[in-house]
Amino acid sequence: MMAKRKKGDPIHGWVVLDKPEGMGSTDAVSAVRRTLNAQKAGHGGTLDPFATGLLPIALGEATKTVQYVMDGAKSYRFTLRFGVETDTLDPEGEAIETSEIRPDDAAIQAAIPGFLGEIDQIPPAYSAIKMDGKRAYDRVRAGETVEMQPRRVRIDALRLIGRPDADHAVFDVDCGKGTYIRSLGRDLAKVLGTVGSLTALRRTKVGPFAENQAISLDALAQIGHKPGQSRGLLAIEAALDGIPAMVLSEVETVRLRNGQPVPLLRKVDLARIADLKDGDEVVAFCGEEAVALARYGKGEIRPVRVLNR
């Protein structure tokens, strides 16, 4: 019996999509996949439908490196509206609480240090977190009462960058994975003696990817099917910048690709493993091409994910 032929082209790499407002992350992945006629695609970190900005989308073998992007640091710019809290903590929800209090710049600056470092944060009820196998937002929409548990997150920097008017403040934030910016806005407003919710949110950095690498859906569609074009793709290796690299010989590469460990016990190997300790991950290269994600231990590296292209 013949194997079923996969639909689409075997495209491997990353598209750093500048996601438009109003589009869900899953829909964005589908749009990129259709535009490029790619066989396989997945995203490197959910972005709320009302938000804009960087949504890295992995194609083909790049899907094996998604976790490295999701685990990376992120940066956002957001606008917080004081005086109104919505049930979704964004402009798509219904108002559930109001306040006449509007903090001044000095009060905001004084409150910021309390949100730096590792903090406990309660995610929004309207979130994609799974509870007993079901998304929290699906439970809320079905009329269930959802009690979200606090999570430890990391805020590296929080900067007040503008006050369009007394009702609004614009911030830049650098944070670790799993941080909910909607919750950050809600909690900051509460510390300031008022209530608040986001009116705008843009992701400006995720993992190794920055805004100057982003491409819109329209631009992607224009170049996606032109012969000789890069199709707006970044190499698989672009997601792996923060992981130690190790260059292998062709013989070693064959072993790793066949699922076998590569021993590194000769004198000539000492330089390659000088900075490694047992349990460290490495990206194995043959020439300029990453061939596998591997783990070092006991004088050898073992393949964790082999990249086939």
Choose, from 48, 90, 218, 275, the residue flagged as catalytic: 48
Answer for the pair 48, 90: CB distance below 8 angstroms, yes or no.
yes
Facing residues of 292 across strands?
284, 306
Q: What is the DSSP string of the chain?
A: -PPPPPSSB---EEEEEEEPTT--HHHHHHHHHHHHTBS-EEESS---TT-EEEEEEEEGGGGGGHHHHHTS-EEEEEEEEETEEETTSSTTS-EEEE------HHHHHHHGGGGSEEEEEPPPSSS--EETTEEHHHHHHTT----PPPEEEEEEEEEEEEEEETTEEEEEEEE-TT--HHHHHHHHHHHTTS-EEEEEEEEEEETTEEGGG-B-HHHHHHHTTSTT--TTPBPGGGGGTTS-EEE--HHHHHHHHTT--EE--SGGGHHHHTT--TT-EEEEEETTEEEEEEEEETTEEEEEEE---
Query: Is 105 one of the catalytic residues?
Result: no
- Joined together, the tokens standing for residue 78 give 């957001």
Burial label for 226, CB within 10 Å (0-12, 13-18, 19+), is: exposed
By annotation, the residues acting in catalysis are: 48
